Amino acid sequence: MSSDTGSLTHIDESGAARMVDVSEKDVSARTATATGRVLLAPEAVAVLRSGDVPKGDALGVARIAGIMGAKRTPDLVPLCHPIALHGVKVELTIVDAGVEISARVKTADRTGVEMEALTAVAVAGLALIDMIKAVDPGAVITDVKVEEKTGGKTGRWSRPDAG
């Protein structure tokens, strides 16, 4: 419906913010995948890669933070509906430029879970920066975006520029 894709559905006719009514939407299986990156100085990447430092733990803390962050989405994003989550997976991969993050969230509910996936990536990125900021105070979270979502009335959407 054009009003769903061409207007700010969180805002009613008078311009006031509201949590939109999803009562009429079907309960359906829904997934969303989001990705992002934390750009780090070479020194910081070396520390994460080094056998001398427990890199697994730094990534591990960020992974847990991302999963817990997905659960906090309705507390953080004012107009998000509180929904059940059926599964959350957060992956962090060290690359030359820093750390790549991806999050995949599943549910069966009346609203999509792209905000939960984006929140998982953003919070994992924040936690990673917190772990590494003594080494690299200039770390940058970048390219946090939805890659794909499935389910609901609109079905599958995938990012046009995604390979």
How far apart are alpha carbons 6 and 86 in whole angstroms?
Answer: 30
Q: Annotated catalytic, 130?
A: yes
118 belongs to an annotated ligand binding site = no
Q: C-alpha 76: how far from its chain's center?
A: 13
- The CB-of-159 to a copy of itself minimum distance in angstroms stands at 6
Cα within 13 Å of Cα(144), Cβ side: 20
- The CB-of-42 to a copy of itself minimum distance in angstroms stands at 14
100 belongs to an annotated ligand binding site = no
126 belongs to an annotated ligand binding site = no
Angle at 85 between CA 82 and CA 86, to 5 degrees: 160
Nearer to a copy of itself, 23 or 96 (CB): 23
The dihedrals phi and psi of 56, each to the nearest 5 degrees, come to: -55, -40
- The CB-of-94 to a copy of itself minimum distance in angstroms stands at 13
Give the active site residue among 130, 136, 143, 161: 130
Residue 95 structure tokens: 């690359």
For the annotated binding site for substrate, the residues are 79-81, 115-116
For the annotated binding site, the residues are 79-81, 115-116
Catalytic residue annotation: 130
